[in-house]
Amino acid sequence: MSITHNFSSVTSLNVFFEEVRQSVEKCLDDLIPRSNLAPERLHEAIRWSAMAGGKRIRPALLIATGRVFGAPPGSMIRTAAAVEMIHTYSLIHDDLPAMDDDDLRRGRATCHKQFDEATAILAGDVLQTLAFQAIAGDENLTPATRVRLISILAEASGTPAGMVAGQQLDLDAEGHDISGPELEQIHRLKTGALITAAAKAGAVIGGASDAELEAIEQYAAKLGLLFQITDDLLDVTQETGVLGKTAGKDVAAEKATYPGRYGIEAASSKAASVCDDARADLLPVDRDTQMLTAIAEFVLHRTR
Ligand code: GRG
């Protein structure tokens, strides 16, 4: 299914999310090798994690941002799927015994539990390379745009300014009393970098100006921080069954979190003010940014 209509005719964010979900899952299904192709176990494991649901918020953000700048839907879908593949790889690796050692993800057994550790490591590895391959082979984009998108995604995924760097800092902080700025830096890298890359990629595909790109980056960095604060809050306030992953893990693992450091009330206030800041960052963009504002509100109030 392709997303064909304009935002202006979309009355509900949920309708938009559902459309993104369907088109991204169709694209993932096309890009990931079939499970009856050798090595079958590896392909089954990739599909187990990638096709397990998930909110698909990063693809939605990418497509919503691209729409702000008039990007045609067909030019965004592979990059949106690529971001989701990087995200899924990070979840598979994060759940491994050497990291968070989790049994439940997206409402089902984690990849290493369902298969085995080695297969889960390889499934994550392959999702990462498939992501870059998906963009490299996207004939709806010019070669220059493909290279730019690959570079944005690589920088956001790796180190020193990306997700893997954030993961390392997070692991290093376990059991330590870190400062507020250190906590924010972990969140900005571990969670914010990929979310920012998603929005930036949409803006680049839509041909945003440098000034617009700067504003979108500011907005998305706040959105990423907001996403992690609400994730921290949900970990202590929501049930495992609703989250589809083990609740209460952060406390058990002595993770550095906002509620852990400031308490639930102060963390909730911080989330609301970061959401306001994200909305304000959109003011210099002289386009219809309603959907991006709605996404920030959605992240603030999300329940899973
Ligand atoms: C192992 C390289 C590597 C990185 C790990 C993603 C991550 C970095 C760690 C997972 C733990 C965690 C709480 C990360 C923060 C990002 C986050 C909130 C991930 C969960 O994203 P959702 O809620 O998940 O979008 P779904 O399943 O809905 O896609």
**Mean pLDDT of all residues in the chain?**
94
**Ligand 1 atom 26: residue of nearest CA:** 54
Q: Is residue 45 part of a domain?
A: yes
Q: Which structural domain, as residue segments, surrounds residue 133? A: 7-301
Give the tens place of pLDDT for each residue, 166-193: 999 999 998 898 999 999 999 999 999 9
Q: How many domains does the chain have?
A: 1
b/e 169-202 (16+ beta carbons within 10 angstroms → b): bbbebeeeebeeebbbbbbbbbbbbbbbbbbbbb
Query: Does 10 score more than 70 pLDDT?
Result: no
Q: Is residue 1 part of a domain?
A: no
Helix residue ranges per DSSP H, the chain:
13-31, 40-50, 57-68, 77-94, 111-114, 117-136, 143-157, 163-173, 180-187, 193-205, 210-237, 240-243, 249-252, 258-262, 264-281, 290-301
With H, G, I as helix, E, B as strand and everything else as coil, classify residue 108: strand
CA distance 40 to 243: 30
**Hey, what amino acid is at 89?**
Y
User: Is the shortest distance between the CB of 193 and ligand 1 below 6 Å?
Assistant: no
User: Is the shortest distance between the CB of 108 and ligand 1 below 6 Å?
Assistant: no
Give the tens place of pLDDT for each residue, 37-83: 999 999 999 999 999 989 999 999 999 999 999 999 899 999 999 99
Q: Is residue 269 part of a domain?
A: yes
Which band of pLDDT confidence, cut at 50, 70 and 90, is reported for residue 249? confident
Question: What is the DSSP-derived secondary structure letter of residue 102?
Answer: -
CB-count exposure of residue 61 (10 Å: 0-12, 13-18, 19+) = buried
Q: What CATH number is associated with residue 179?
A: 1.10.600.10
Token digits of residue 98: 């050497």
Q: How far is the CA of 170 from the centre of ligand 1 (A)?
A: 12
User: Is the shortest distance between the CB of 51 and ligand 1 below 6 Å?
Assistant: no
Contact present, 91 and 105 (Cβ < 8 Å):
yes
CA distance 236 to 146: 40
Give the tens place of pLDDT for each residue, 294-303: 999 999 999 9
Query: Does 237 score more than 90 pLDDT?
Result: yes
Token digits of residue 118: 């080695």
User: Is the shortest distance between the CB of 124 and ligand 1 below 6 Å?
Assistant: no
Query: Does 5 score more than 90 pLDDT?
Result: no
Q: Is residue 214 part of a domain?
A: yes
pTM listed for this prediction: 0.95
pLDDT, position 253: 81
Question: What is the DSSP-derived secondary structure letter of residue 72?
Answer: -
Give the tens place of pLDDT for each residue, 97-154: 999 999 999 999 999 999 999 999 999 999 999 999 999 999 999 999 999 999 999 9
Question: What is the DSSP-derived secondary structure letter of residue 188?
Answer: I
Which band of pLDDT confidence, cut at 50, 70 and 90, is reported for residue 252? confident
User: Is the shortest distance between the CB of 232 and ligand 1 below 6 Å?
Assistant: no
User: Is the shortest distance between the CB of 106 and ligand 1 below 6 Å?
Assistant: yes
Which band of pLDDT confidence, cut at 50, 70 and 90, is reported for residue 11? low
* Mean pLDDT on 229-258: 90
Q: Is residue 204 part of a domain?
A: yes
* Mean pLDDT on 248-255: 85
**Hey, what amino acid is at 262?**
Y
Q: Is residue 256 part of a domain?
A: yes
CA distance 232 to 266: 12
Contact present, 259 and 24 (Cβ < 8 Å):
no
pLDDT, position 110: 98
pLDDT, position 54: 92
**From 91, 233, 249, mutation site for ligand 1 pocket: most ligand atoms within 8 A of C-beta:** 91
β-partners of residue 109 are: 104
Query: Does 4 score more than 70 pLDDT?
Result: no
User: Please, which residues have CB within 8 angstroms of residue 20's CB and are 6 or more apart in sequence?
Assistant: 3, 56, 59, 60, 63, 80
Q: Which atom of ligand 1 is nearest to the CA of 84?
A: 29
Q: Nearest-CA neighbor of 223 among 298, 304, 149?
A: 298
User: Is the shortest distance between the CB of 187 and ligand 1 below 6 Å?
Assistant: no
Q: Is residue 225 part of a domain?
A: yes
User: Please, which residues have CB within 8 angstroms of residue 165's CB and are 6 or more apart in sequence?
Assistant: 158, 159, 189
pLDDT, position 118: 98
Q: Is residue 2 part of a domain?
A: no
